[in-house]
């Protein structure tokens, strides 16, 4: 029953987290910032705007991207198989890429290209994380991982690699090249409007829930450690976002795959000898 309630409230909680993040970023920039519920005000404004449909498949792919992400979050909450979840999350991301390629906008194509390259950069890290938990606990089931003690020390190199993944998924500097409003006007989002854009907007909220739920796995059964990790990473990600400039997509690949994948592989090799 509790799991069902959490699943249904996931988009709402993600919206609150996004609203709180905007307040924190504003304080870091010495300004007041919007109210906590501003994401929901934005959502209601989008519902009143005229919705233009480029073609039905483009619209359907955006909606499916949101629904698939919601299922991904639901599976994490229910403690399902982590490896299956990673591949389903990959599928949801690819839906957005295909949507970007399905229209003629050059900005949408550029956004899809960058999103696809971003997937190439971070997806091996998610797979490596799943394999590492399996080596430690003999299971891919998130429920089993949560019942064990914290694996932060054993997986510290992978934890550092996971931190490189977060700005990509949350569209934060320096790894927000796939969205890059100043360059490609939002990329794959550009041809969505009104209520159809709202599905992409809410999908971002679900991405917040997804990545932070994965972060909590490093804490195992320790609620205190999960809370501390969440607060530190939340503040750190926003501090880096405020203090850094966007890197080019080729630099993103070089940094995440060069550093992140190296850390992940070394961690897996070390675990195999434990």
pLDDT band at residue 185 using 50, 70 and 90 as cut-offs: low
pTM: 0.92
Distance separating alpha carbons of residues 190 and 245, to the nearest angstrom: 22
* Tens digits of residue pLDDT in 62-99: 999 999 999 999 999 998 999 999 999 999 999 999 99
Instruction: Check whether 178 has a pLDDT greater than 80.
Output: no
Count CB atoms within 10 A of the CB of residue 140.
Answer: 18
Average pLDDT over residues 195-199: 84
Number of domains the chain is built from: 1
Average pLDDT over residues 237-260: 87
What are the C-alpha distances in Å from 8 to residues 1, 14, 53, 227?
Answer: 11, 11, 28, 22
Helix (H, G, I), strand (E, B) or coil at 81: strand
CA dihedral 107, 113, 114, 118 (to 10 degrees): 150
Average pLDDT over residues 203-213: 94
Instruction: Check whether 143 has a pLDDT greater than 70.
Output: yes
Residues in the chain: 274
Range of the domain at 76: 2-272
180: left (phi over 0), alpha (psi -120 to 50) or beta: left
């Amino acid at each position: 029953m509790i799991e069902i309630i959490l699943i249904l409230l996931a988009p709402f909680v993600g919206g609150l987290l996004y609203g709180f993040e905007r307040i924190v970023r504003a304080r870091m920039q010495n300004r007041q910032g919007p109210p906590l519920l501003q994401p929901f005000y934005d959502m209601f404004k989008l519902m009143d705007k005229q919705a233009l449909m480029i073609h039905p498949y483009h619209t359907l792919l955006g909606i499916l991207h949101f629904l698939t992400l919601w299922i991904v979050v639901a599976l994490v909450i229910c403690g399902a198989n982590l490896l299956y979840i990673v591949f389903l999350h990959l599928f949801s991301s690819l839906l957005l890429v295909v949507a970007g390629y399905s229209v003629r906008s050059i900005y949408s194509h550029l956004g899809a290209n960058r999103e696809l390259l971003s997937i190439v950069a971070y997806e091996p890290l998610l797979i490596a994380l799943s394999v590492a938990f399996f080596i430690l606990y003999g299971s891919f089931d998130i429920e089993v991982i949560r019942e064990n003690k914290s694996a932060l020390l054993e997986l510290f190199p992978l934890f550092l690699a996971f931190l490189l993944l977060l700005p990509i998924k949350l569209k934060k500097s320096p790894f927000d090249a796939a969205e890059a409003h100043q360059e490609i006007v939002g990329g794959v989002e550009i041809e969505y409007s009104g209520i159809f854009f709202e599905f992409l907007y809410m999908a971002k909220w679900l991405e917040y829930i997804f990545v932070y739920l994965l972060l909590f796995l490093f804490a195992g059964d320790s609620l205190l450690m999960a809370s501390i990790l969440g607060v530190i990473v939340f503040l750190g990600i926003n501090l880096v976002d405020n203090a850094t400039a966007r890197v080019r997509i080729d630099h993103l690949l070089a940094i995440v795959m060069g550093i992140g994948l190296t850390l992940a592989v070394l961690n897996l090799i070390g675990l195999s000898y434990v």
